[in-house]
Each structure stands twice: as structure tokens, then as C-alpha cells.
Structure 1
Amino acid sequence: MIEVKNLVKRYGDHTAVDHLSFEIEKGKIYGFLGPNGAGKSTTMNMITGYIASTEGTVVIDGHDILEEPEEAKKCIGYLPEMPPLYFDMTVLEYLKFVADLKKIPKAKKASMIEEIMDMVKITDMKNRLIKNLSKGYRQRVGIAQAVLGYPEVIILDEPTVGLDPKQINEIRELIKGLKKKHTVILSSHILSEVSAICDYVLIISHGKLVASDTPENLGKLAAGSNNLNLLVKGQKDTIRAALESVESVKEVTVKKDTKSTEEGVYSVTVGTEENTDVREKVFYSMVNADCPILEMQSKKVSLEEIFLELTESEKKDKNPEKKNSGKPFFKTAADAENYLNEKDSGESEAEENGSDEEKEEE
């Protein structure tokens, strides 16, 4: 549906969007996620043709946004972060005005406006001035103007900014409903919003794409996503040996628990294979080893942790003093998982080496 290739936008010496490439398929809700200033809105403006790119191409349903702007824009409905509303118009007057701008045939205009007002639930407000509406209703009017003409792609830039929790839930349900007939691209820096309604997530940082996958697969990106954390009482070597004998356990880390006042209490991290639940096996293994488990917890990795992990990696790579092999780019969850696993292995080795040096000094 949409193909973005090597998209670049520069403002003088500042690069807002840096060689961004991705594809959008029909019938899904895409979440464009990134911190403030990451380049999300700039990218949206280039996709819609509102601003021109410095380099790269955007092709919408076979039409280049720069070479065939009119044909390309017919495929898009756009809601900017600040809805383009005329406050001295009533809701109905404004939607008629937008319908004329979009060249909707007069025979279809009235019925289409009524249908869309019903869909976004603003029919009761149609004769009220827009300046007298709450922010939530103004957002609904903004979405209505984006949907007018039934374009195949709806692009929403920060659609829930400034809304209260009730309004946010209502707008989210409305966006989910759009999926039935449209492809939706949703730009946001709100993690819960993206994880709640999107089928596919693209994470952007400093104008670059650092990860793209489904929310479920992105759960595998963060370090420790397949870890089991334990607090166990017993002998260190006995605990390690018993856990390493458990099927599907990949690695075991046993450290003295500094918070416990009891002797012989260890903090244990068990790395497991993907999509494997070893809690029952671990329990019986510890029983047989006569090592009681005081606590057991599966690590749940949130989208927030993944987001911070990836954008922090990008931030470090921007630092010339810390830059090694350049920015990590992850096309899929598997690519990012390999990178993060290698990173964790290096950190673990550094910790162990540090511990050995401390022992020698003692």
C-alpha cells in the first residue's frame, strides 16, 4: 500500500529523518513509535506530501507523492497533531466544506457526511460551533474530516494528546473500528496506546528505524525476556548444578543476595528457551536438591522496556566517544534479539572479570 525508500529530511546541518525505509500493508493498524523529536511528525508530513523530502521516495498505491501528488493524496486521509479546524464553523458546515475540498460528488456528499458523523459519534454536535466543543469532540471532528471520501489510508499524528482517560479510550475504540475499511498509521510516543491498538510497530529514534515487528514479537527484543528470577536458600554449587540439569534451561547465574539477612540465600537468574515454561521443573529440581525456593518470578518485558532499550542503544551510538560499529538496525525481532543477547553476554563477562579482580585484591 505504501512504500517508503531511503527517506531523508534535512534542515541545514540538522537531519530530522535519516534514510528511513519501510512498507505498509493493507488492512492493518501500524504504530509509529518514538520519543519527542524522533522525526515522527516530519515523516508523516513527507508521506502525506505536506512537506518535500530532501532525498528518497514515497509511493502510495503505485503513485509517487512528489511526481503524482494529486493521485497519491486521494488515497490518504490525514489528521495532524493539531486538527485543521475552523472554530467559527459548525461541525456540519465544516464537514461540508472539507467534502467540497475533496471533490466528493454532490449526490454522495450528504449521505457520506451523515454516515461518518454517526461512525465517529458527533451527530448530536453537528449544529454546534467547533469552538464550543471539548477537545475530545474536536479530535472526533478531525478524524471525521480525515475519513471523508473513504481514502484507503488514514494517517493520525498523536491523536490522543491532551485528552482525558475516558476520551482516550473512546478515540482508541474509534481507531480500532477504522481498521475494518482502512489501513491506519498511528504516530505516538505513548507506549500503552501503541501496544493496545496496533498490529505492527515501527520504532524510530533520531530519525532512524531501530526496530519493526508485531507487539508480540517485540517482546523478545529486550534483554531477559525469557528469564526466570529466583531467590533460593542452599549451597551455591548445588543450586547451580540442579538448575543446569533442567531441560530447556540455557544458562544459570547464581549470586549472593545482598538484601537477605539469612546465610546461604542466593539470587538466581535462569535463562530459558523461547516460549518455554520451566517453573514446575525448576520447583521439583530444587525440592530434590533440598534447596527451598523463597521467591520465583517470570520476567515480563513491557513495550516500554523494549522502547527504552532500543532508543538508549541509538543514543549511545550517537555519542562519538562510545561509538563502535555504528547504530544497530533491526529489521525484525530476531535481529534485535541477537544483538541484545551478544550485548548482555559481554556485560556478564565484564561483571565476572570485575568480581575476580576484586577477589584477588582481597
Structure 2
Amino acid sequence: MHNPLVKIEGLSHKYTENWAIRDINLEIDSKGIVGLLGSNGAGKSTTMNILCGALNPTEGKVVIDGIDMRENPEEAKRLIGFMPQYPPLYLDLTVEEYLTHCAHLRLIEKGNIKKAVNDAMERCKIPHFRNRLLSNLSGGYRQRVSIAQSIIHLPKLVVLDEPNTGLDPNQVIELRALIKDLASERAVILSSHVLSEVQLLCHNIRMIEHGRIVFADTMDAFNNYIEPHSILMTMENPPKSEELLAIEGVSSAEFLTEKQIRLFFNGNTEISERIIETCVHNKWRLREINLEKTSLTEVFAHLSNHRKN
């Protein structure tokens, strides 16, 4: 990756005697959405806290746009916006009052605060709630306010920790569109346990398990990490199981309905061609055939156990 925005080298941290993370190395580009995955206790939160400057690592370094977090923490933090899983919103403030307070915390010049607040509200589509108390907002709009505070100072990197927590389906769709919009001009790190959301939003994946990186590649590579081993097919004139098992490479056959069958196979995916040829030869009237990909949950579980020992 050429001139990455974020560069993490040899990052390690331990609480008392146990290492929470060990030798984490990451690079993140200047635009787009990177999914950060990991089981509970894997070291994901520790990594995010160090990345955002809330925790000093035991070893290693974090560099944001060429600025070393340990050497120049204030300058590095100016480039980062963070939305924690449970944002510390002051519920007795209005939206505008809260964002104004956040602008002061971000050391935005006094003459620029009003514009920064208005721009953040416009970006997150909440200006009509500027005088509404945060306590009177729905969960979805509170999340929008949380994102607004994370971008009010126009950071180059935004870190979102479980942004979909407590949202209904419509709110999730709206938030998804907002995150995509933000990522068009900055880097976004999205930490989430909702694998379907990660699949829809992220182009790249970084996965931490047992304190170490176990996967760092594209979403497509994550989807295909485990080779498929089953085929779903529909036939108008299906044969008996014995005839299907006679096809070279087929290990078992499962009839889902009278005409829909799942075949499990060993070896490579060229078996599809043999199945099609056999169906045509025997006039089984094949209507549909699909190679089934391994589910994201299965890939996640496989990677979670990859370095257990």
C-alpha cells in the first residue's frame, strides 16, 4: 500500500502479566471502509483504544498520516474521530449545545465553531433537531449525533465501534448510507459483530484473535477463505441418491424437496462440470445449479480458532 494513512508497527500491550495484543502490524489507506473483526476478548478494543490515543501501548507504535501517536499525541488525535459503542452523550443538552461543546473539546477556533456544528448536523441529516434535547431523541438519531461529534473537526480517520447497536432495520439502512458517504472522503474503521453489515459496507477486513492478526485482506478473500464443498441443484427428473453418489467426487446427497438436492463433494469445483454432463446424459432435466459459498459465520468461527493454541 502506497503512503498509508494509518501505519501500526509491532503493537503489543499487556495488562499486568497477560498480553492483550501481540505484534499487531496494520496499514490502512486514506479512503474507504475497513472492517475490524474479533471475538469478545480478542484484543479488538485494546487496539482501537491505542489507535485513538486513549491508551499507551507497551510496545510498538501508531503513526497517523506520518505523525507518531506517542511522540505527538495532540497532533495525531486531531486527525481522528471516534464513536464508542456507548457514546457519552449529555442527555440534558440540545443537539446544538452538545455539538458546540464537542467543537470546543476539539479545539476548533471560536469563529469557526458555528459553521463546524452546522456542517456536521447537515452531513448527518439532523439540523431539524438542533433544539431537541438528546434525551428526547430516538436511538437512531442519537447515533447520528454521535457520528456528528466524531467528524466535527474534519478528521482523516473515523473509528466507529458497533454503530448499529440498538437500531431498528430502517435506522440501520439509514446509518449504512451515512457511513458510506463519510468513507467517500476519509478512512473509516468499522468494528462490528454484525457480519452481514461488515459484508455490505467493507472492502477490506482486519481480524484480530487471541491478540494477533489472523486475517488482513479484501472482503472477497474473506468470503472465499474456506473453499466451498457443496452444490445446490434443482432437477425436474431427479434420480435416486445412489445414482448421484456414483458421480466421481460426490460424498453425500441431501434431498431438500422432491426436486431440490444439496450435494457435498470432495476435491475442486470442477465437479460442477461432471454433474452437468451426467445430468444431460441421463436426462435428469437440470434446471439450476449453484456452488454454495461458506457462510461468513463459518469463516469467522474458523479464523477465531486459527491461532487458539
Q: Same fold (TM over 0.5)?
A: yes
Q: Distance in 1 between matches of 2:251 and 2:239?
A: 9
State yes or no: 1:154 paired with 2:158. Answer: yes
Q: Which has the larger radius of gyration?
A: 1
Shift in alpha-carbon separation, 1:313–1:106, aligned structure 2, 3 A = same
Distance apart, 1:312 and its partner CA? 2.6
What SS does structure 1 have at the residue aligned with 2:99?
helix
Q: Distance in 2 between matches of 1:186 and 1:109?
A: 27
State yes or no: 1:54 paired with 2:58. Answer: yes
Which residue matches 1:77?
Answer: 81
Q: Please show how residues 312-327 of structure 1 align to structure 2 within 5 Å.
A: 312-314=305-307, 317-318=308-309
Q: Distance in 2 between matches of 1:184 and 1:137?
A: 20
Distance apart, 1:31 and its partner CA? 0.5
What SS does structure 2 have at the residue aligned with 1:166?
helix
What SS does structure 1 have at the residue aligned with 2:306?
helix
Which residue matches 1:211?
Answer: 215
AA at the equivalent of 1:269: F
AA at the equivalent of 1:283: I
State yes or no: 1:104 paired with 2:108. Answer: yes
Note the residue ranges of structure 2 that are not aligned, 5 or more in a row.
none
Which residue matches 2:277?
Answer: 284
Note the residue ranges of structure 1 that are not aligned, 5 or more in a row.
241-251, 319-362
Q: Deviations over 1:13-66 (max 9, x none)?
A: 332212211100111110001122222121111001101111111111111111
Name the TM-score, length of structure 1 as normaliser. Answer: 0.74
Which residue matches 2:225?
Answer: 221
Q: Distance in 1 between matches of 2:262 and 2:209?
A: 38
Q: Please show how residues 1-362 of structure 1 align to structure 2 within 5 Å.
A: 1-224=5-228, 227-228=230-231, 233=240, 239-240=247-248, 252-255=249-252, 269=265, 271-272=267-268, 279=272, 282-288=275-281, 290=282, 292=284, 296-314=289-307, 317-318=308-309
Which one has the bigger helix percentage? 1
Distance apart, 1:223 and its partner CA? 3.5
Shift in alpha-carbon separation, 1:235–1:285, aligned structure 2, 3 A = closer
Shift in alpha-carbon separation, 1:165–1:229, aligned structure 2, 3 A = closer
Contact 2:83 2:160 in 1 (8 A): yes
Distance apart, 1:287 and its partner CA? 3.3
Q: Distance in 2 between matches of 1:297 and 1:180?
A: 34
Question: Runs (4+) of structure 1 moved beyond 6 Å?
Answer: none
Name the TM-score, length of structure 2 as normaliser. Answer: 0.86
Contact 1:232 1:267 in 2 (8 A): no
Work out the number of aligned pairs and report it: 295
Distance apart, 1:300 and its partner CA? 2.2
AA at the equivalent of 1:59: V
Contact 1:90 1:126 in 2 (8 A): yes
Q: Distance in 2 between matches of 1:89 and 1:141?
A: 12
Q: Distance in 2 between matches of 1:305 and 1:112?
A: 44
